[in-house]
Amino acid sequence: MKMLLLLVVIVAGTACGPAPNANNASTTTNKNARPSATPSGPAPVYTYDVVKTYPHDPNAFTEGLYYKDGFLYESTGQNQDSKSQNDQSSLRKVDLNTGKVLQRWNLPREDFGEGISEINDKIYQLTWQQEMGRVFDASNFKLLQEFNYQGEGWGMTTDGTNLILDQGTHILKVMDPNTFKTVRTIPVFQENGRPLMQINELEWIKGEIWANIWHSELPEILGKPNYIVRIDPDSGKIIGWIDLAGLSPDDQPKGNDPYDPKAENTLNGIAYDAANDRIFVTGKRWKNLFEIKVKPKAQ
């Protein structure tokens, strides 16, 4: 959920504090978060091959994504000031091969949809600034429950037992899906010891947390476009980077112009098919979703 005007504010901000943008979490004191970290050696950088390309709704402002039993489940976000139904925040079940939306639940107009995850046939969905999430029956999208949390909601995934969410800072929160209480926190620092800010959409892959970094191309964030970070969920240590530069260039701006109509078409959305070991990625308003194979980057 990123507004073009607010991107200008980000560029003027610093890397070690949350940028005041439309998808950034409020700063909160966290007793488990370290104020700094000891610099470590560089984590390996990986690149990719595109295995297959699938259609994706170009109006979907993707905020959350996961795969289950042959289908994609997607959360979209958008300010509800448009008459266009395509731009509404929603929860969707999507046919992988055609990109067709098979099932949909539109959020109230005042809500901005964010990260989603599923545990025990229940879908959990965050909202951006409403400090409120929802629980749905995964089979029919029936609303079962609403819950509250402090601060903004960005990305979410699960380790199979708990929910893991982020709020745009360098802190991941592990949340009990029944009580919605924070079990523990996971601070994430770059190799240079600086907090890794603007962690966004999350996915659990083979015991790791993979995360999009919102506007990773900004010099005060990473200075590298379309980067995904791989995080050790126990220590918070960065164990790898995935460089997806060059993926879907027609859907993204040519430079860093905040007024470019495509300025907010950032890489966002990671889904994993564990049964077939397939990784899918897409972005906000991208026309395609890509199945990729990750490989070491040539030095």
Q: Judge contact between 220 and 14, C-beta under 8 A.
A: yes
The reported pLDDT for the residue numbered 14 is 32
The reported pLDDT for the residue numbered 8 is 34
Mean pLDDT of 179-191: 97
Mean pLDDT of 209-219: 96
Sketch out the chain's domains with CATH numbers. Answer: 4-28+37-296 (2.40.128.630)
> What does the mean pLDDT of the chain come to?
87
Rg of the chain over CA atoms, in angstroms? Answer: 17
pLDDT digits (tens, 9 = 90+) for 69-98: 999 999 999 876 555 554 589 999 999 999
Helix %, strand %, coil % of the chain (to 5): 5, 40, 55
Closest-CA residue to 124 (of 151, 110, 143): 143
Mean pLDDT of 249-267: 90
The reported pLDDT for the residue numbered 258 is 84
Query: pLDDT grade, residue 41 (50/70/90)?
Result: confident
The reported pLDDT for the residue numbered 25 is 35
pLDDT over 70 percentage in the chain? 84
| Single pTM value for the model | 0.86
